[in-house]
Amino acid sequence: MAQTIGIGMCGGIAAYKIADLVSKLKKHDFDVIVMMTEAAARFITPLTLQTLSGREVLTDLWTESREWKVQHVGVAEQLDLLVIAPATANFIAKMAHGLADDLLSTVVLANTAPVLVVPSMNTNMFENPAVQDNIQSLLRRGYHFMDPDSGLLACGVTGKGRLPEVDDILKHILALLKPRQDLAGRKILINAGSTCEDIDPVRFITNRSTGKMGYALARTAAARGAEVVLVSGPTHLEIPSGVEFISVRSARDMCAAMLQHQPGCDIIIGAAAVGDFRPATPAEQKIKKNEDGSGRITIDLAQNPDILKELGKKKEPGCIMIGFAAETENVLENALAKLAAKNLDLIVANDVSMEGAGFACDTNICTLISSRTDIRPMPLISKDDVAEAILNRAAELLL
Ligand code: C5P
């Protein structure tokens, strides 16, 4: 289930930036409940936030809610994190003194989730001892604060008081949220990286995969409580903590390790770029070149097993199998063909010719496809976020 973030907006000119924050939180699959003070609604319309968050925006303590019997208590109970942004001097004072005279301040008092306060105001107001004392008192109670940025403020003054960049607020939010333990008790088998096929004792055939996507999946799944087995070809990446790590070189070794760990798995993910061919008979000694430059050799290649196809043949009931389809053309059709051929439940398709997608970068542009009628494109996001989205979809398919 998605985590719920409450966004409490106060009346400051930076309120318009929160529209972007809400949009980004939605792209991260969070459920977002926006609450606005009366003053906030003078800077940006609740309709904008309602459209972006996809749910009712709460502004008034006295309006009957369709969702909750006692609105402020019901909302507070649902929150995994409450973010007050922009936080004005007035609202910080209200929080510090426990005032509860509008919807947002009552939610703050009823809330037991962590609170992140993001102040934004004129420099002198921010530095005023009254405001600073209130901040100190909230810090002592365990509230989290972000320091305002410095720069030209809307009031014309240059100094401290700007709302931090939306991406920085987002990072803070992600860091504060405890990873869900929604995959606790699940066994997940993942392969990652490239494979190496020996030509002779010193040379081998490999590919450009760095293993970043598979490692992000292993790290994220472990953080969400899963028991993870990571079967990896050679990479330069740090082994994620809390996973059982099996190092392999060739596609056949990888296949054997995957088959060995297949029994009892809830989710199997083939993120490795498995070499489809290997030298049929690797030379026992280093192959020598001709000193006169006339050398010419032919390497006879034999086909490797298709690991996912092998696992697919032995698929256990209830196990969700996920593969990747890195394509340069006809992405959808090729991905659907692989979904069927490998007996998969989900295929993560991407056009590797697009900038920001595919090998060796930290981002990806993927589409999650579980059937011809269930195609979910995603924007350019980090591989960590792609990993979260894949695991969210896998968790849905497990139900
Ligand atoms: O058929 P193609 O190589 O495009 O399929 C990609 C998907 O199949 C990836 O998930 C990859 O890990 C998996 N695969 C495999 N064994 C192979 C080739 C690909 O498991 N020999």
CA distance 195 to 193: 7
Q: Is residue 308 lining ligand 1, measured as CB closer than 6 Å?
A: yes
CA distance 199 to 203: 5
pLDDT digits 0-9 by tens, 64-101:
777 766 677 889 999 999 999 999 999 999 999 999 99
The pLDDT score that the predictor gives to residue 269 is 98
Domains and CATH numbers, the chain: 4-177 (3.40.50.1950), 187-281+294-398 (3.40.50.10300)
Q: Is residue 307 lining ligand 1, measured as CB closer than 6 Å?
A: yes
Q: Is residue 274 lining ligand 1, measured as CB closer than 6 Å?
A: yes
SS3 track for 146-203: CCCEEEECCCCCEEEEECCCHHHHHHHHHHHCCCCCCCCCCEEEEEECECCEECCCCC
Tabulate helix, strand, coil % of the chain (nearest 5): 35, 25, 40
Query: Is-catalytic flag, 155?
Result: yes
Q: How far is the CA of 241 from the centre of ligand 1 (A)?
A: 26
Q: How far is the CA of 342 from the centre of ligand 1 (A)?
A: 9
Atom 19 (ligand 1) nearest CA: 274
Q: Is residue 276 lining ligand 1, measured as CB closer than 6 Å?
A: yes
For residues 361 and 312, the model is more confident at 312
The pLDDT score that the predictor gives to residue 301 is 98
Closest approach atom of ligand 1 to CA 342: 8
Taking the model in full, what pTM does it have?
A: 0.69
Q: What is the DSSP letter of 276?
A: S
The pLDDT score that the predictor gives to residue 26 is 96
Mean pLDDT of the chain: 94
The pLDDT score that the predictor gives to residue 178 is 76
CA distance 107 to 102: 9
Could you give the C-alpha distances from 10 to 7, 36, 118, 182, 345, in angstroms and in order? 10, 6, 10, 33, 45
Work out the pLDDT band at 1, boundaries 50, 70, 90.
low
Six token digits for residue 245? 């790590």
CA distance 325 to 341: 12
Q: Report the alpha-carbon angle 102-107-112, nearest 5.
A: 155
- Tokens 């026992």 locate to 284
For residues 382 and 142, the model is more confident at 142
Q: How far is the CA of 354 from the centre of ligand 1 (A)?
A: 20
For residues 41 and 399, the model is more confident at 41
pLDDT digits 0-9 by tens, 304-321:
999 999 999 999 999 999
CA distance 220 to 227: 11
Q: How far is the CA of 21 from the centre of ligand 1 (A)?
A: 37
